[in-house]
């Protein structure tokens, strides 16, 4: 029982750390009036802190693994909300499909081309 309590306390501490970094990203985005969403800035901040060694992977790993394992549950409200957009999809569905396909395929080829360029330089 004490191991479970310790694990829960550890995860809550890690969640607090991740939440604090996320709030710092949002604060920076609002304070500096950056055209980047605060949550994206928070992820970049976490990445930078991990790279610099300020935050160790072990300090966030358990909670990050838990959140990633249950990531699909965070998309349920979005999927339910999309059910109200039937008329929009009926009217603009083809354009939306083309936009989704292009925005998915272009980065795929761009990363492949960039990988080839970087590999040739070696």
Q: Write out pLDDT tens, residues 42-86.
A: 999 999 999 999 999 999 999 999 998 988 888 788 778 888 888
Domain range summary for the chain, segments of one domain joined by + = 1-69, 76-122
User: Is the pLDDT at 17 greater than 80, yes or no?
Assistant: yes
Which residues are CB-contacts of 96 (< 8 A; sequence separation ≥ 6)?
89
Secondary structure, 3-state, 30-95: HHCCCCCCHHHHHHHHHHHHHHHCCCCHHHCHHHHHHHHHCHHHHHHHHHHHHHHHHHHHHHHHHH
Query: Model pTM?
Result: 0.63
pLDDT at 1: 65
């Amino acid at each position: 029982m004490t191991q479970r309590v310790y694990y829960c306390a550890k995860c809550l501490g890690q969640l607090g750390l991740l939440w604090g970094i996320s709030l710092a990203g949002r604060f920076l985005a609002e304070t500096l009036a950056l055209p980047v969403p605060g949550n994206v800035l928070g992820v970049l901040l976490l990445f930078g802190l991990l790279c610099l060694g300020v935050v160790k992977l072990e300090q966030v790993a358990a909670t990050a693994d838990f959140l990633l394992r249950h990531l699909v549950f965070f998309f349920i409200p979005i999927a339910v909300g999309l059910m109200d957009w039937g008329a929009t999809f009926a009217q603009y569905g083809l354009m939306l499909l083309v936009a989704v396909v292009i925005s998915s395929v272009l980065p795929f080829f761009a990363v492949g081309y960039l990988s080839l360029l970087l590999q040739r330089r070696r």
